[in-house]
Structures are given as structure tokens and as C-alpha cells.
Structure 1
Amino acid sequence: MNSQQEKRYVKLQSERFYLLDRSTTPEGKLEFHISGSTRNVYTVTVYPNNANIFCTCPDAKSWAKKNNCICKHCLFILYRVLKVFDRADHPFFDRLWFTPEELECIQISTEFLQAHLDNTLVNTDLSRRYKNVGTTENKYAPTIRFDADDLCGVCFLELENDQTDQYMACPICKKAAHEDCIKKWTSSGQRLCVYCRQDVWGEVRTATNDDYQNLGY
């Protein structure tokens, strides 16, 4: 374990993290959704085919990668959640890929996770907020077809019926705008619908983010 990895290991001992959910993709990837003190939600993924682990946090995408180590969120999954590692000087950190035996331990620990999960790793309030995010996103899905003269209320460009996955609609007046436009609108502090002026966009600021979600306080 190099010095940069040690710094992240120390943070694991002093910071609080929580497991929000876990899933297995059709390709067999193991996904763990976690959050911590900042309330940001990151996804840690174990790739059995590539025998490695990765996180969606900024550290994993940049600094940790450059310093040949893994982020504190990956450490949380390996040490606290799955408990497949029990010491800091594990040989994994010399290679950063899993042996077949380690992958087998990860698979077994994941399968029995619900029965053996430490209750201190679960925050019921954060878990509830995380589950509500999916409900919020569906709440803003467009439900009506656009006419030829329908324009986005923010950028005033045309709305097309074959691109509805790129739009968000007001749950009250049902009129839609580009999702990117709504994100910019809410990031500037706006909460009112650009069409009916109802207070409907307050939840969007925590439910949508290009890289990761934030569950707020």
C-alpha cells in the first residue's frame, strides 16, 4: 500500500459512509450505491470479468487513478461492507486487481450481504431519500405528445417526440422542457415552472446530476 493509498485508508477509519442499495447487472457486475457526510451518492462497481473495482467519485476518476490506488469508497465496500480484506497491507494493493479466490469471496459476501450487514452501515433516512429519487425522476417524465409548434420554455428550441428521454415535464401543467435546460434553471435557484409558475422543481436539484446524485440535508 503506497502513501496515497494509506491516506485514503486513514479516511476510512475516521469518516462515516452508508450503503444505500446494491444490485447485480445482467452482465454480472456488482454495484453498490453509497453515501457519506456530503450526501453525494456514488456507485462502486466490482467487475468480475476485468477483476477490478471502480467508483464514480471524482477521486477515483482522477487523483486516485493517477496515484495508482483506489478511493475511500472502494475501501468502504471491501473492508466494511463485504469484509473481504482485514488488514491494511493486503497484497491486492500491490496489483489493484482481484485474484480468482478474492473474486469468489466477494461474490459469496455479496450473496449473503443482507443477512450479515452491520446495522451501523445503514442510514434509514438516506436510504429513504435515495429510493425517492427514482420516484421523483418518473414524476417528471413527459406524458403527452408535442405539437409542431411546441418549444422549450427555457431555450425556445423545438421539442421532438422521438427524443422524450431528453425532456422533463411539469407534473401540474404537463408542459415539457429539455432536461439540460431544467438543470440549468434549477441550479440558478429557480423552483417555479416556466409555464404555469407553480413551485414544482424543488426536488430536481437533488434528484438530477450529470455525475452523481446528492440527497441533501
Structure 2
Amino acid sequence: MNPNGEMNSPNNDDPIIDLTKTWLEKAVIGLNLCPFAKSVYNGNLIRFIVSQAKSNQDLTADLKQELQILSESDPKQTETTLLIHPYVLLNFLDYNDYLGVADKLITQLELEGYLQIASFHPDYQFAGRRTDDIANFVNRSPYPMLHLLREDSVERANENHPDINSIYQNNIDTLRKLGHDGWNELGITNPASTGSNSIFPD
């Protein structure tokens, strides 16, 4: 693992990773959208990988590899993985459908109960919310990505948090106070957003 926490990654200086780190620093950590992210990020325990996949099949191959790598890695060196895929599943509907494939892969690899996947996308839209609802930005990232997590780490974090159920509402409250103008002032661009992948009509 190198000093930036990118274990065997060929994309150490990739601008895609740089923008992803900016998003982590200014939004996820800066706005405290995830109270568990700061220690992992500052501890260089995140593996950043940019997939070159341009098809679902190629992405699945990359995902399989990263799931296996994470499952075999020492959590003291690699706690979690961000598999960024800027060239495939740009449409949020397609991405949302693919999450079922990702979950099936975990089962096929017999990693159910050990690893799980969280979802982030430039056009993320929570069920029942309009596309322009600022609450969607809780899960909006510069590029589509699959966040690979260790289940025991998630359970431990939940147990240690005084009120885990409050995080989602606190995040919405934070974003509503910030507003779209405030978000834009953070300087986080979403170059992979198409802006036209609504699940629900406006």
C-alpha cells in the first residue's frame, strides 16, 4: 500500500480519484454525512479503484476482483473500497437495476454476511423524491461508484453510534439548510451526471 492508501492501484494520480477525494473531504466528511468516514479516510484505509469497464459484464469482472481482494485484505491496511466506474451505468435507472446483479455476485462468492455494497451515483434519487430534491445529494457522487464495505465494520460502527437512526434525518436537515446554492459553493462537480434519469416524474 502506498502512502495515499491506494493499494496496488494503477490510478494513483488519476483526476477521477482526485475529484472523488474532494467530494469525500468537502461533502461526506466536511458536512458529516457519514460520521464514520473521517477516521477511515485519514487513516489511509480506503482503496480507490477506477474501473475502465464500458460494459456491465466488464464491470462485474472488476467487481468480482475487488470483492475478493477486500475479503482477503487486512482491515488494518484496507478497510473499504470505492470502485469508481465512470464509463458504464451512467444512467441511474441502469445503475439501480445493476445493484441486484452486484448483490447476487456477493452471494455467488459466498461473501454474504461478510461484505455489502453501498450505492452512490451523480443522479441518485431516493424513492418518492423529486429529482431536484436536495436530499438526493446524500448519495450523489461525482461518478457512479460501488462502495464495498465489511459487514462487521458496519455493525461495529452502528453499535458505537449513540443514535444510528438519526443519521439519515440529520443529513437531510444539513442539506436543506445548505441548499443547492450552498452545495454548488463547495465546488464539487458531477461530470458524469446526465440529469435525465428520473425514477419518478416531476
Category of TM-score, reference length = shorter chain: under 0.3
Greater RCO, 1 or 2 (C-alpha within 8 Å, sep 6+): 2
Q: Which has the larger radius of gyration?
A: 1
